[in-house]
Structure 1
Amino acid sequence: MRFIHCSDVHITDDYFALPLRRLGWRRWMALVELTVGGRAKRYARARHVLSSIAREVEHHAADHFILSGDLTAYALDSEFRGAREALGSLAEDPRRCTVIPGNHDVFTPGSHQKGRFASHFGQLLHSDLPEYRGEGAFPFVRLLGTEAAVVGLLSARVPFTPGLSYGVIGDAQLGALSALLKDPRLDGRAVLVVVHHAPLTRQGHADHWHHGLRDAEALLRLLPGPRHAVLHGHIHQRYHHPATEDRPHIFGAGSSTEEGREGYWLIEVSQGRVLGGEMHTPRG
């Protein structure tokens, strides 16, 4: 089986065309990053690039498309709509597509309280094994063919203030995942766990306190060996840590639509094991 994995596509609206009162103070602060920091320019073509990556599913005859969070710049409805439109028919079918939220998709308390991600992508929160949900819709499970299962986790939390972007999975989801992994319906399947925050950096270390996944060690302990993989985003670098006896494969998808760094993983699974992946650049 083949899986396309991308992340951190950051669909961005024209913030200066919107009433400031609609943005709120958190997005006012983010305007500095959009302008002086150059984020708006780097993601000006994000919708087009995401659409191109979605079309790569047909080119590679991939079985499933995975987007590990940060669909939006700052969690506006218009940005979520743009991401859904760019994904096209993939966004309608949980058999073909898995999407989870990132920290930018719950950037404000309002976006979280209104369930803005679920209002646009709730159709992809379906689980084949709903009895293992531990926190809301998470973990959700896709049983794909006879060789693989994809598990979606939630690590994105509303930050107290911009600049804090750490992630937490939490005991409820970790406990549910632990029980799920013992279910005989997963026997013989490779298990691809999708989470937004990175359990390890490119250098193989834990990320910084204010940016990293707080319960990364607990997650990795549940997933030893090449049967397992963790697919993540958040760190805008694309890398692969091969599995060891005690640790899963770890795929960081980088920022798939950032100008000059566009790309995604094509991950191969066979006979219940994750074989590895190749980095690709979208052709469109």
Structure 2
Amino acid sequence: MRIAHISDLHFSKISKGITQFFSKAWIGNLNLLFNRGYNFSPERPYALIEPLKQQNVTDIIISGDLTTTSSRAEFQLAEQFIDKLKEKGFQVYLIPGNHDHYTKRAHRRQRFYKHFPSKHSSDLPYNLADHGVTAKKLTLGWWLVLMDTTLATPLKSSNGYFSEKTEASLKKLLQDIPPQDKALLVNHFPFFQHDKPNRWLKRGTVLEELLQNQPKVQLFLHGHTHRRCVADLR
């Protein structure tokens, strides 16, 4: 098994509908026109496929923000890419990011989970959409734990929230993993508070403390920052 981690693909499609002005979608579309559209191309992620095959990657983890304004058209673009990865033989695991719950309507209708149902709970009875966490046994002694800390946020906010409910579910899930096994935890948001306050994971310090006292979690993967970094936090 060889795992690749990618994040924040931001598939985008500019909306011309007037309904965008009844949500924060118009901010995202404006950003697409003058900023983000130059940095993110719907075709660019496909260029990853052959190099990943050449590196003998078997499993791909995508840690959120598949879309930009969480529109149906963007989710369709993201779904086409995921289907192509699966067609090429990759096992794909993914979680939502804040841009996948960009509007209250998308969050309320659980649009992400309509396109990408939480199917990674076959080994333990946790569903990402309902419990905020789920798990999959990767190989002997190693588990993949996925977490959803997204929510619809106000106009100038891109926060996440490690809720009390998700905290309780994560603690219980980790207890259910055999004591000798190790876990790889994936969340869209980092737990450290090094960014602007309107981009923090709320209650991130609670998650950090939980992980410091939880030896099973050996690796923590995240997205959101758009920066490449590997840190040893032991």
TM-score range, shorter chain: 0.7 to 0.9
Q: Which residue is 1:270 aligned to?
A: none
Once the two structures are superposed, the pairs formed by residues 49-64 of structure 1 within 5 Å of their partners are 49-64=44-59
Q: CA contact under 8 A between 2:134 and 2:146: conserved in structure 1?
A: yes
Q: CA contact under 8 A between 1:101 and 1:196: conserved in structure 2?
A: yes
CA distance 1:26–1:54, change in 2 (3 Å): same
Q: Which residue is 1:237 aligned to?
A: 227
Mapped partners of 2:189, 2:198: distance in 1: 12
- The alignment of Structure 1 onto Structure 2 pairs a total of residues equal to 231
Q: Which residue is 2:164 aligned to?
A: 171
Mapped partners of 1:48, 1:41: distance in 2: 12
Q: CA contact under 8 A between 2:66 and 2:78: conserved in structure 1?
A: yes
Please state how far the C-alpha of 1:134 moved relative to its aligned partner.
8.2
Q: Which residue is 1:191 aligned to?
A: 183
Q: Which residue is 1:216 aligned to?
A: 204
* Matching residue's letter, 2:134: F
- The answer to which structure has the higher helix fraction is 2
Q: Which residue is 1:207 aligned to?
A: 195
Further displaced range: 99-108 or 207-216? 207-216
Q: CA contact under 8 A between 2:120 and 2:127: conserved in structure 1?
A: no
- Post-superposition Cα deviations, 1:69-95, rounded to whole Å, max 9, x if no partner, equal 110010011111111211235458xx9
In structure 2, the residue corresponding to 1:13 is in which secondary structure? Answer: coil
* Matching residue's letter, 1:149: W
CA distance 1:135–1:29, change in 2 (3 Å): closer
CA RMSD, aligned part only?
Answer: 2.5
Please state how far the C-alpha of 1:227 moved relative to its aligned partner.
5.0
CA distance 1:216–1:83, change in 2 (3 Å): same
* Matching residue's letter, 1:20: I
Percent of aligned pairs with the same residue? 25
Q: TM-score, normalised by structure 1?
A: 0.73
Q: Which residue is 1:34 aligned to?
A: 32
Mapped partners of 1:162, 1:213: distance in 2: 16
Mapped partners of 1:126, 1:222: distance in 2: 23
Structure 1: runs of 5 or more not aligned: 245-284
Once the two structures are superposed, the pairs formed by residues 1-284 of structure 1 within 5 Å of their partners are 1-15=1-15, 18-21=16-19, 24-36=22-34, 38-43=35-40, 45=41, 47-90=42-85, 96-122=91-117, 124-133=118-127, 136-159=130-153, 161-183=154-176, 185-200=177-192, 205-224=193-212, 228-244=218-234
Q: CA contact under 8 A between 1:70 and 1:105: conserved in structure 2?
A: yes
Mapped partners of 2:128, 2:54: distance in 1: 36
Q: Which residue is 1:248 aligned to?
A: none
Q: CA contact under 8 A between 1:138 and 1:153: conserved in structure 2?
A: yes
Q: CA contact under 8 A between 2:185 and 2:217: conserved in structure 1?
A: no
Higher relative contact order (CA 8 A, sep 6+): 1
Q: Which residue is 1:249 aligned to?
A: none
CA distance 1:110–1:178, change in 2 (3 Å): same
Mapped partners of 2:224, 2:172: distance in 1: 27
Q: CA contact under 8 A between 1:197 and 1:213: conserved in structure 2?
A: yes
Please state how far the C-alpha of 1:222 moved relative to its aligned partner.
2.8
* Matching residue's letter, 1:143: K
Q: TM-score, normalised by structure 2?
A: 0.87
Structure 2: runs of 5 or more not aligned: none
In structure 1, the residue corresponding to 2:114 is in which secondary structure? Answer: helix
